[in-house]
Each structure stands twice: as C-alpha cells, then as structure tokens.
Amino acid sequence: MSAVERGGARIRRPRTMPSRREACIHRESNMFQLSACLWSLNGPAVESIRRCRRSGFDFVDLRPDCWSGVEDRAHLEILGVRVPCAGITPVPMASGLSINTLGTGDALAALPYYFGALERASRLGAQSAYMVTPSARVADTAFYRTSMARLAERAASLGVRLCVEPSPGRALGTSAEALQFARSLGAPNLYVLIDLGHTLMTGEDPAEAARQAGDRLGYVHIDDNDGRSDLHLPIFEGVLKPRAIDGFLRALEECGYDRAIGIEMKNSLPGPMAAMVSARDYVSAWSRRKAEALLR
C-alpha cells in the first residue's frame, strides 16, 4: 500500500504490481551479480565501499591490500554491500616468502598466510576466493600441486570455492592450462577464474574458454587492454569488441553460470569508478535486451 495526501488526510491505496512481463524482464536482467573490485579505487576501504554504494553497486570484491578496516560480513551489511568473491593474493608475508614459495620445499612456511586469508574471506561472507599463480613455471612441481590441494581443502572446510586465476607469463598462463591443472589435481573444490582481459592477451576465445571450463568455472573478471599488457582499461578502450564480450556473456548463460562478475580496473585510471559503472551498465543492458527478446 502507498499513501497519498488528500484534504489533510492520508489515504492508502494499493501499490501497482509489476506485470508478469516486467517481472520476467527484471529477473532476467539481473542474471549476473555485478561486483566492483575495490582495488580498482584508491583510498581507505570503507570510504571506497561507500563510493561504490553511491554509484549503485550492491556487491564489491575485496582482497588483502584493500580490506583493512572492514571487519566482517555484519559490517559489510551495515555498509549496504555483499562480497561474492575475495582475492587471497597479494597477502602480506614474512621476508623471503612469496607466492612462488608454494612451489618449493619451503611451501609449509607460506601456507599459513593463505589459510589466514581464506579464513578472512569466509568471515567477510565470500562464497568464492581466488589467487594468482606463481611467477615461475612451477605448476608441474609436486610442491605446488600439494600446496593447491591443501588450500582447496581448507577453502572447502570454510564453505568457500577456491579459484585459480591464470595470467600470461605466470605458472599457469592460459585458461586452458589452469583448467587442465584443476582437473588433473583431482581437488573437487578447485576452480578456474577466467579474466576476459587475459584472454585478449593469450588469444583465447573467452566464450570457448567458458564452455570448456563448464562446471569448473568458478569466477569471472571483465576488463580491457591493448592485447599485450594487463592494463585493466575501461571496456572498449583497448582491443575488446562488443562481439567478444557479448559472446562471452552468452557462453556464461549457456554454462549456467549464476555467480558474480568482478569488474576490475586499474586504479591509476583518470576515472576508475566511471569505468566500472560503464562496464556494469553494459552487462546489465545486454541482459535486459536478452530478456526482452525472450518475450517477443
């Protein structure tokens, strides 16, 4: 019921209910949760979250270098957002340790830092967590495989889906390599994060990468670049074309992907918030057009 003023008296009248068509369009238009990657912004985490809310974001992704000052899921609810995915890299570590250590005989010294980051991600309410891979080609070492199996197991115990993000030049450079690694490891809680910008650098078809990943697709990032460097540009300011992102979104729908899409921009851009809003609005408009086409 809504209230109107008439002659000083408040008269209540029924709210207008949306039509079935409008309800269907609204549902289909929101098939993807669109999340702002907070490291795309500069400044204290809480203020950056408030900026995201003012810009219409209901979801934000966090990671160790931008979650200081954010206490837990209850704090995020007060701020008006949820965290669908948290990065667990880069994580502060003791001198001499890094993500590369996971592929060496000193892996046991590095694992507790990542366990702690996973526990923090869980307290923030994240359903997924992701990590990059070492900078060296160590994905075939027994140390790295054992490390990732243990991390996936710990994440599962926390109710968090662990994703590995391939990146050109790192231990797992392509989505295909990451997928093969996840499947060969035999850890049921290890998934692949596909970064649309990274596929522009490797020459992979992002839509085909998503289809190949299937139920191993754990998370998605969207951004743009020049095809050579990981610049995290606003979409369509690099080599990304509408045809490629549209095909990628169709593939996500076909795969039954029902999780969030992280929008990741470089924080040195002149307007990273505007760039994230533009990407969000493009995906939302695509979803709406798709919904309207279904009802014709």
Cβ atoms within 10 A of the Cβ of 44, count?
A: 13
- Over the stretch 15-63, which tens digit does the pLDDT of each residue have? 555 555 554 444 554 679 999 999 999 999 999 999 999 999 999 999 9
| E strand intervals along the chain | 2-6, 9-13, 33-37, 59-61, 85-87, 128-132, 161-165, 190-195, 217-222, 260-263
**Mean pLDDT, residues 193-203:** 98
pLDDT surpasses 60 at 215: yes
User: What pLDDT is stored for residue 24 in this prediction?
Assistant: 47
- Over the stretch 120-164, which tens digit does the pLDDT of each residue have? 999 999 999 999 999 877 766 899 999 999 999 999 999 999 999
Name the band, by pLDDT with cuts 50, 70 and 90, for residue 210: very high
Backbone φ/ψ region at 258: left (φ over 0), alpha (ψ -120 to 50), beta? alpha
3-state SS assignment for residue 24 = helix
Calpha distance 294→296 (Å, rounded): 6
* 208 half-sphere exposure, CB direction, 13 A CA radius: 7
Name the band, by pLDDT with cuts 50, 70 and 90, for residue 2: very low
- pTM here is 0.89
Q: Tell me, which fold does domain 85-294 have in CATH?
A: TIM Barrel (3.20.20)
The H or E element that residue 31 is part of is: none
User: What pLDDT is stored for residue 292 in this prediction?
Assistant: 83
Omega prior to 90 cis, within 30 of 0: yes
Site of tokens 């269907």: 24
pLDDT surpasses 50 at 95: yes
